[in-house]
Amino acid sequence: MNDQKIIEKLRSRGFHGIIFDFDGTLLDVMEPLQQSIEEVFTEKNIKADMELTIQEIGTTLESIQGYPIPKILLQSHEIFKAITSLSNFTYLKKLRIAMKIFAKYQQYAKDAVIFPKAKELISFLKKECALFIVSHNQTRSILESLEKEGIQQDFKEIYGADKLPALKPHPDAFLPILEQYKKVKGSDWVVIGDMPSDIEAAKEAGLCTIGIASGISKKDILANINPDLLVDSLEELLDLIGIRNGRISNSNGQTSLKINS
């Protein structure tokens, strides 16, 4: 489906279902992630390109978030290869640093908030579309965040890593939802996510895709995965649809498209 058709289908709320990622898509995790890394790197006197380090560690955290600790330890040699700022350290020191960052992130992420425009988008879409969350975060943590914002009831189902048969980028991450709606075509679903794994899993499952560059992955990284629509933020997505205060405005925002063809 091309980008203009995606926008029109969102405007008319023509999708049967919309599947959101959570961390980085609905929940703003950049501040707790950056704080966690900076505190540990300052303590350990590690000098690094912080922008690159946040990208690498953030991607790593996203990929292992749903793993049990034994699996993380078993795969840690391979996991650490993706973090160039730790390349000169011994394996045990890498492990201690990584676990300290992860512990701090889990602590600070409890105070992370929903992106300001998330509620407005959800309020508009929920009237005609079934809304879902498929995330590598734990279901309990997702529910706690949604309850704080008063929007838990807006989602038909919420699937954290603990409830999924496979993790993204495997397309089976969406099976718990798609098995319930076998008669619904793939083109009547859209997945909204901030990571390449979100887009890859959705494309392999035959679903439409929207990449949001508001999380860990930069826009050029998401562009390489070729989502059907690529935007900088939920705010830009609202502008493209033409939503103002939960309603379609007279201007549909199509003159300001910044999309990936």
For every residue of the chain, which 3-state class applies, written as one string?
A: CCHHHHHHHHHCCCCCEEEECCECCCEECHHHHHHHHHHHHHHCCCCCCHHHHHHHHHHHHHHHCCCCHHHHHHCHHHHHCCCHHHCCCCHHHHHHHHHHHHHHHHHHHHHCEECCCHHHHHHHHCCCCEEEEECCCCHHHHHHHHHHHCCHHHCCEEECHHHCCCCCCCHHHHHHHHHHHCCCCHHHEEEEECCHHHHHHHHHCCCEEEEECCCCCCHHHHHCCCCCEEECCHHHHHHHHCEECCEECCCCCHHHCCCCC
Which residues, in sequence order, are CB contacts of 259 under 8 Å at separation 6+? 3, 229, 230, 231, 240
- The pLDDT score that the predictor gives to residue 255 is 36
User: Which residues in 163-199 are b (16+ Cβ under 10 Å) and which e?
Assistant: ebeebbbbbebbbebbeeeeeeeeebbbbbbbbbbbb
- The pLDDT score that the predictor gives to residue 68 is 67
- The pLDDT score that the predictor gives to residue 256 is 36
- What percentage of residues in the chain have a pLDDT greater than 70? 90
Contact between 16 and 129 under an 8 Å Cβ cutoff? The reply is yes
- The pLDDT score that the predictor gives to residue 66 is 62
d(C-alpha 239, C-alpha 261), whole Å: 18
- The pLDDT score that the predictor gives to residue 65 is 65
Among 52-56, 119-123, 171-175, 183-187, the minimum mean pLDDT is found in 52-56
Mean pLDDT, the chain, whole residue set: 89
CB-CB neighbours of 147 under 10 Å: 11
CATH topology of domain 3-27+114-256: Rossmann fold (3.40.50)
> Which tokens hold the place of 172?
């089976």
Query: What's the one-letter identity of residue 50?
Result: M
Q: Once rounded to an integer, what is the mean pLDDT over residues 36-52?
A: 93
d(C-alpha 71, C-alpha 69), whole Å: 5
pLDDT at 195 over 60: yes
pLDDT at 241 over 60: yes
Question: pLDDT tens digits, residue range 124-172?
Answer: 999 999 999 999 999 999 999 999 999 999 999 999 999 999 999 999 9
pLDDT at 76 over 50: yes
pLDDT band, residue 250 (cuts 50/70/90): low
Beta bridge partners of 133: 20, 158
pLDDT band, residue 111 (cuts 50/70/90): very high
Residue ranges covered by each domain of the chain: 3-27+114-256, 30-111
pLDDT at 258 over 60: no
Q: Once rounded to an integer, what is the mean pLDDT over residues 190-218?
A: 95
pLDDT band, residue 46 (cuts 50/70/90): very high
pLDDT at 249 over 70: no
Contact between 124 and 149 under an 8 Å Cβ cutoff? The reply is no
pLDDT band, residue 45 (cuts 50/70/90): very high
Contact between 136 and 23 under an 8 Å Cβ cutoff? The reply is yes
Torsion sign, CA atoms 42, 63, 32, 211: positive
d(C-alpha 94, C-alpha 224), whole Å: 30
